[in-house]
Structure 1
């Protein structure tokens, strides 16, 4: 059994990952940004903000900040994509050479166009294992049947991460296609926004699922154009995560799309809700333009989200490109 694992970020996913890996390790350190979260977990052994009714494993220890070193064999980065560079910079000198890093954020930096793994490598000089879906934290923490995909070109790192994650209910698929897996985790949020816009417009089901099918096809083309394996899109991190994120009411980006389809603008700063897909739309559009890759679904989402085009007009333009 692995001794110590650290999870950076005590939000819903970080808490769920900590609960999951506690089945397979001796001790889990859950690093929280806010002192009150640490105090809640220390006092009540629950994360009262995210999962108030779920007792956490006694193996989980909440910590505020970092010590002189992070003495863990594996570190999971469970922070929003907008915070990954800052966190990686903060911990880069505290990580042991043999420690395996795992990236869980689903986003891409704008305007640099760098993925989360590229950002983590920039700051730490370590290539992380990529963890992708189809997963909701609320189901992981309840130990409900779930499959995830992890990707790395280093086999021993894949095996180590798979070992700490796997339970009878939580199954882990391993692949070597880092580019494809990570792009799937980014594009599924854009596809969810596009599908949500169509739903918010009260578009008929035939048209909505035609858009979803085009999203799947374009994901393959974008993955291939950026150097990944298009077959990866057929897997759990591709089709499975795309359908889950596009159609579930638990998906923030699906909800964001619905609101914009109803012409309701969301102020993320005032709502404190993070939508990973919104900046990804601009970054992917830029990447596709630079690499001469068709991205009609992304352009549709961009027109509605970032250029205030009416959903109806934007959809008519998309519909003319379906065949």
Structure 2
């Protein structure tokens, strides 16, 4: 029996805790940074702000005590927003034992440094690390709808441990050794999903959406390969799989934000309407461009999305510029 602590009680963290509880055979703890949210989870038995409608089993320990949550845990599943991962790992770093596995399910890049989550963790602690990614809406995982994801680690036994402990009749886990490819696929697809949402908000039709998704995976792959990832990884679950889901699914927050931008709403108003939920692509867009500049990789969709988000560029003008770029070979 493994002891698994989920760090982050948003929709995705709660859904993974529910999936692990449904599987059985583990001691589970769900940590929230908010004492009020932890108390609400314990009292109501469900995550009313972030994932209502799903009952939390009574054997999931719920706490806001971080040292207590990580004590004697075999696996620390980090599901915090990417911008908060450094703070959490810095806090717990001195308390960790050498064999505790850190597993990140956060899909993003650190805004200031452009670092992937594995690089953030490695800058603080030498604990074994893995990343979990793939096409997986929280609501569907919580409901037990069959889902396939991938776990990547540069230490195969670590990936195999996660595969064994997380696989269930409703969650199929594949292993991969390509950490950069899996992480960048999960982070950058959010940026392309924003753009796909913009196209939908402008009522541009299916042709435009298909073009954005296809050219989006091309620029995501270019950057991932430049950063040491493998092209075939981006053709898998954490690449094209997650991209298609996030660009087309009605449950996608990033796509929803893009739709509202396409309709002419202001970003601040859209973010306020999320009620504390996070659309990672909003922060990852600038970080993606910073990383692309470091490796001299061209990312035209990401560039236009950044201009819409941060320079008040008209979505119609952004689409016009994408369509008027010089002709290229595919």
TM-score normalised to structure 2 length: 0.93
- Tell me if structure 2 keeps the 8 A contact 1:8–1:79: yes
- State how far apart, in whole Å, the 2-side matches of 1:291 and 1:67 are: 39
- Residue number in structure 2 paired with 1:298: 302
- State how far apart, in whole Å, the 2-side matches of 1:117 and 1:218 are: 22
Q: Does 1:104 align with 2:111?
A: no
- Tell me if structure 2 keeps the 8 A contact 1:177–1:228: yes
- CA drift at 1:17: 1.1
Q: How does 1:28-107 map to 2 (within 5 A)?
A: 28-67=28-67, 70-107=71-108
- Tell me if structure 2 keeps the 8 A contact 1:190–1:277: yes
Unaligned runs of 5+ in 2: none
- Measured against aligned partners, the alpha-carbon deviations of 1:46-97 in whole angstroms (never above 9, x if no partner) come to 3233344322223211011223662111010011111111111111122221
- State how far apart, in whole Å, the 2-side matches of 1:73 and 1:93 are: 16
Q: Does 1:146 align with 2:147?
A: yes
- Residue number in structure 1 paired with 2:6: 7
- CA drift at 1:34: 1.9
Paired residue secondary structure (1:163): helix
- Tell me if structure 1 keeps the 8 A contact 2:10–2:51: no
- Tell me if structure 2 keeps the 8 A contact 1:162–1:172: yes
- State how far apart, in whole Å, the 1-side matches of 2:277 and 2:130 are: 26
- Residue number in structure 2 paired with 1:122: 123
- State how far apart, in whole Å, the 2-side matches of 1:218 and 1:294 are: 7
- State how far apart, in whole Å, the 2-side matches of 1:281 and 1:198 are: 17
Q: Does 1:113 align with 2:117?
A: no
Paired residue secondary structure (2:123): helix
**Structure 2 residue corresponding to 1:278, chosen from 282, 285, 297:** 282
Q: Which one is further off, 171-180 or 296-305?
A: 296-305
Evaluate the alpha carbon distance shift between residue 282 and residue 52 of structure 1 in structure 2; reply closer, same or farther with a 3 A threshold: closer
- State how far apart, in whole Å, the 2-side matches of 1:270 and 1:203 are: 26
- CA drift at 1:282: 0.8
- State how far apart, in whole Å, the 2-side matches of 1:74 and 1:200 are: 41
- CA drift at 1:124: 2.2
- Residue number in structure 1 paired with 2:17: 18
- State how far apart, in whole Å, the 1-side matches of 2:160 and 2:77 are: 15
- Tell me if structure 2 keeps the 8 A contact 1:70–1:96: no
- Tell me if structure 1 keeps the 8 A contact 2:67–2:92: no
- CA drift at 1:172: 0.6
- Residue number in structure 1 paired with 2:292: 288
Number of residue pairs matched by the alignment:
322
- Residue number in structure 1 paired with 2:315: 311
Unaligned runs of 5+ in 1: none
Evaluate the alpha carbon distance shift between residue 313 and residue 26 of structure 1 in structure 2; reply closer, same or farther with a 3 A threshold: closer
Evaluate the alpha carbon distance shift between residue 269 and residue 137 of structure 1 in structure 2; reply closer, same or farther with a 3 A threshold: closer
RMSD of aligned residue pairs (Cα, Å)? 1.7
